[in-house]
Amino acid sequence: MDWREIRTRLEQAAHKRGDILRHQLGIRPEAIRLGIPAAEGNFFFTNAAAPVHAELLRQYLPTEATAIVREADQICAHRFRLLGYEDLDFGAPIDWHLDPVHGKRAPLDLWCKVPFLDFSVVGDHKVIWELNRHQHLVTLAKAWLLTREERYVRELSDQWNSWVKANPYPLGINWASTLEIAFRSLSWIWIDRLLSGSPRFAEWHPGLLSTLAFHGRYIERYLSTYFSPNTHLLGEAMAMFALGALYPQMPHSARWRKTGWEIVVREAGRQVHPDGVYFEQSLYYHVYALDLFLYARILAAANGIQVPTAYDEVLGKMLNVIASLAQAGLAEGFGDDDGGRLFNPRRNQTEHMTDPLAIGALVYGRHEPEARLTEESIWLFGERAVAELPPKARQGAGDSAATSEMRSTACPDGGLYILADSAPCRQTMMVDAGPHGGGSCGHGHADALSLRLTIDSARWLVDSGSGVYISSNPADRNVFRGTAAHNTVRVDGLDQTEADGPFSWKQLPTSNAESWLVGKTFTYFCGIHDGYKRLLAPVIHRRSVLRVNDGGDGGGGVWLVRDALLGEGEHDLELSWHFASNVIVREADTGQLIAQVITENDTQANQPTLRLVRLDNPVWQTDLSQSMLSPAYGRYEPAPVIRSKTRAKLPAETATALLVEMGAPQNHSRARMIAQSDDNAQVFDLVVGERKHSFIFARNRQAWSVTPWSSDARLLYCGMENDILIHLIAIGASSVEWQGRELFHADRPSSYFEWCKRDGILRADPSPVSITSYFDELAEEPIASSSSSNNVPGAPTVPSSCAEND
C-alpha cells in the first residue's frame, strides 16, 4: 500500500468505529439538515416534461407502457420479479432482509459485521440487495404517471417508510455495500423527479431528501476506492456526482459533484482497455459500466460541466465494441452476468445488451444500425428519441443489410476477435483471446479461445451464463464459469485455471492472438493459451478459425475451426459446443449434425440451418446431450450440447466445420470431412456436394508438399468445384505450386494471397507478387491488374490491401 491507500483505509476504519460506538451508546444518527432551497440542478428532463415523456411512451411503445402498469400491480401485491427469478414473495409487510429464494434472513447486526458472502447465514445477498435497490419503486412512480392512479404513490410511500423503519443505520445487510446505497440513491432521485406532480408525494418529500443526503454522506465516506475499484467505485462515484449536481441544498454537494465527476472521468481511462473493452472481461459488466459513463456524461453536459475529449473517445470505443458484436443482431455475452441494470432491471438478458447504442446515437449522433427506440431513450431524450430512433428492432438480417456493412473487427487489448459475414445471412463469430480479467479476475471465466456464433438475430453457439454467485454448494459457482461450460477444449477434466474463491482465480492463463487477417473473401484468426502449462506434462492449446466467405458453394461459405493440443504425454481431451436453448440439434449423417432455431412465425424455408461437420475420426467419441444454460442470474434452461472426447498422445488435433444455409439442408449437400497428414503438414478435406474445401496447415516452418499442392504457406485453402480450382487463399506463403505448376511467387512470405474465380478477385498483402497466367485461364474474363509501375515482367501486380487488415 502507498500512503494514500493507508490513509483512506484508516479514515474508513475510523468512521466505522465511530458509528459502532455511537450505536452502542444509544446515539441515533442525526438527521441531515438541508440548506435553504435553491435552484436544483438539471436532470435528464424537467418536472414539467415528465408527463410528456410518459405520454410519448404510451404512444410509441404501448407494449412497454402496459408492461410497466402490469408490473406495478404485481408490486402492489408484493410479488416481485428480480434478476432471473419470477413471482418472489417478501411477505406483508415486506421483509427487507429476506432471501425468499432460499428461505434465509440476514441478521439485523451492525452492517460491518454481517457476513453477506456466507450463504449459510444470509442466503444469496444479491437477491436481498436487488429488492433494496428500490428500482421497483421507480416502476410504481412511472405507473402513476401513466395512469394518474394515486394508489401507486400510496404503495410507494408505504414501502419507502417501511424500509426506513426496518433499516435503522448502522444495522443490517442493506448498509453493507456502498454500491447498493448508490443504486438506491439513484432510484430515489428518479422517484423525486417522476412524482413531482403528486400531492401525496409532497407529504414525505422532505424526508426523502434528508435520507438521500444521508446516503450521499455514506457514499463519500465508504467509497470502494481500494475494496472493489471497478463498477462498484464507478457506480458510487456516479451517484455521488448526481447528488452533488442535482441537490445544491445538501451539505457538501459541491464537493460531491467535483469528486464524483473526477472519479468517473479517471476511471474511464483506467477501467477500459485502449480498444474500448471493459477490463472485467464480461459483456454484462461492459454494458454496466458504459451505462454509468453515459448517464454521468449526459448529466455533466446538462449542468454545464466540461466533458474531456478523452472521455468521449473512451465511450465511443466502448460503443464500437457493442456495435461490432451486434452486427448480426445480438451481442452475445461472455464472462459473468451480474443480473442488474442501471435503468430497468428487467432488461437483463442478451437481447438487451445493445441498449446503450440508442443512447450513444442520441448523445453523439452516431449511425447505429442496431439502435432502436427504447423506454430508456424516451425518458432521457423525449421527442428527440422518437424522432431519431426506429421504433422496432430489426427483424432478420435483410432489413439493415443494405444500410450497414459487415466488418470483421479485432479488439486486441481486450482480446475480442469478431469474424463477420453477410452470406447467406448476417453472421458474427466472436473468439475470446484476451486477458482473464482485471485484478483477481473475479468476473472473468475460464473460457480462453472459446467462441460464440450469432446468426440472423438469433443465438446459436453461446456462453452458458453465470448461474449464481453464492449458493449452498460453492462448487456451483464454478460449473458455469468453468471451461466445460464454454465452446473450447478442456484437458484432463480440468479448468484452464484454478478457482480461488467465488470471485478470484489463481495461476491465470495467458492468451495471445498469433494471427489476425481480414481479406476480401476470408477472415482468419489464430491464437494460443497456456492455461494447462501447470500440468505435470504441460499442454498448449492453439485454435485457428478460418471464415471463407465467397459463397461459391451455393450456400454461405464455411467456418473451419482447428484445435491443436501441443505438448507431450497422454491426455484426456474434450471439445464442447453449447447451443442456445431454443435450438434443436439432431444427428443427420456420420460426422454431421444439424441445428435449427425453433420459431413460431417463420417457415423453415426462411430460417437458417447450421450444419456442424465433425472430422471423420473414430478416435474422437461424440455425444449429443442436454446441459443447462443460465440466460439470467438464477434462471436455468436445458439446452443442447455436443461433446467430443478422446484420450490421445500429444501433439493431437481435430477440426470442425460449420456450414450456414437458408432452409432445410438438401440431401445432395451431405457433408463429410477427412484428415491426412505428414511430418510437415496437416490436411482437412471437407466435401459438400460437388464442392471440396481443402485446408492445409503447416506443422512447422518448413516447406511442405501434399499432392497436388506444394508451398511454404502456414495455411493454404483451396476451393474446388467439379475438380476445377475456384478459390485459393494462402497465408504466410512465398510460393504456391499446384500439380508442379507455380501459381505465384514473392521475394518474401506475404501476409496473405487470395484469388476467387467467381468475383475475379486477386489480392495480396503486401504486394507485389508474381503470378502466372493460370489464373487468367481459369477466370471467365482476364483479371485486370492495377498500376503497372511495379509489375514483375510477364505477370500482373496484385494491389496491397492493408486497409482491409486494419
**DSSP letters along 585-616, please?**
EEEEETTEEEEEE--SSS-GGGSEEEEEEEBS
CB atoms within 10 A of CB 658: 24
Q: How far apart are CA 96 and CA 386, in angstroms?
A: 38
Helices (H) and strands (E) in the chain, counts: 20, 35
Q: Residue 114 has which C-alpha cell?
A: 454481517
H helix runs in 608-713, sequence order? none
Q: Which CA distances in Å does 329 have to 4, 368, 406?
A: 46, 11, 11
H helix runs in 634-742, sequence order? none
| 530 closest CA partner among 650, 448, 420 | 448
Q: How far apart are CA 179 and CA 340, in angstroms?
A: 12
Q: How far apart are CA 531 and CA 567, in angstroms?
A: 13
pLDDT for 665: 62
CB atoms within 10 A of CB 7: 11
Sign (positive or negative) of CA dihedral 707, 708, 713, 715 = negative
CB atoms within 10 A of CB 556: 22
H helix runs in 638-794, sequence order? 774-778
Q: How far apart are CA 308 and CA 293, in angstroms?
A: 13
Which strands form 558-567's sheet, in the order they lie side by side? 511-518, 522-532, 539-548, 558-567, 652-662, 608-614, 592-597, 583-589
> In angstroms, how far is the first alpha carbon of the chain from the final one?
41
Task: Specify the amino acid at residue 691.
Answer: R
Q: What are the residues facing 612 on neighbouring strands?
A: 593, 658
Residues 718 and 706 sit within 8 Å (Cβ to Cβ): no
Q: Does an H or E element contain 284, and which?
A: helix 283-302
Q: What are the residues facing 654 on neighbouring strands?
A: 563
Residues 445 and 334 sit within 8 Å (Cβ to Cβ): yes
pLDDT for 1: 84
pLDDT for 379: 98
CB atoms within 10 A of CB 233: 24
Q: Which CA distances in Å does 668 have to 554, 664, 671?
A: 12, 12, 9
Mean pLDDT (10-residue bins), the chain, 806 residues: 90 92 88 81 96 97 97 97 96 96 96 94 97 98 97 97 96 97 98 94 92 97 92 97 96 97 98 97 96 98 97 98 94 91 90 95 93 96 96 50 75 97 92 90 94 94 94 91 97 95 90 95 97 96 93 69 97 97 88 82 70 89 94 96 96 95 66 88 92 94 92 95 90 92 87 87 77 66 32 31 30
Residues 441 and 504 sit within 8 Å (Cβ to Cβ): yes
H helix runs in 2-124, sequence order? 3-24, 50-60, 62-76, 119-122
Q: Which CA distances in Å does 582 have to 335, 637, 789?
A: 21, 10, 57
Q: How far apart are CA 652 and CA 660, in angstroms?
A: 27
Return the half-sphere exposure (C-beta side, CA atoms, 13 A cut-off) of residue 385: 30
Residue ranges of domains in the chain, CATH in brackets: 50-222 (1.50.10.100), 224-395 (1.50.10.100), 407-663 (2.70.98.70), 671-806 (no CATH)
Q: Residue 530 has which C-alpha cell?
A: 497456456
Q: Does an H or E element contain 671, and which?
A: strand 671-677
Q: How far apart are CA 187 and CA 191, in angstroms?
A: 6
pLDDT for 33: 85
**Locate cell 467439379: which residue?**
722
Return the half-sphere exposure (C-beta side, CA atoms, 13 A cut-off) of residue 586: 8
| 228 closest CA partner among 525, 516, 442 | 442
Q: How far apart are CA 589 and CA 72, in angstroms?
A: 52
- pTM of the model as a whole: 0.93
| 265 closest CA partner among 287, 243, 233 | 233
Q: Does an H or E element contain 681, and which?
A: strand 681-688
Cα radius of gyration rounded to whole Å, the chain? 29
Q: How far apart are CA 444 and CA 281, in angstroms?
A: 5
Task: Specify the amino acid at residue 109.
Answer: D
Q: Residue 143 has which C-alpha cell?
A: 405507473
Q: What is the DSSP letter of 499?
A: E
Task: Specify the amino acid at residue 87.
Answer: D
| 230 closest CA partner among 115, 338, 319 | 338
CB atoms within 10 A of CB 169: 18
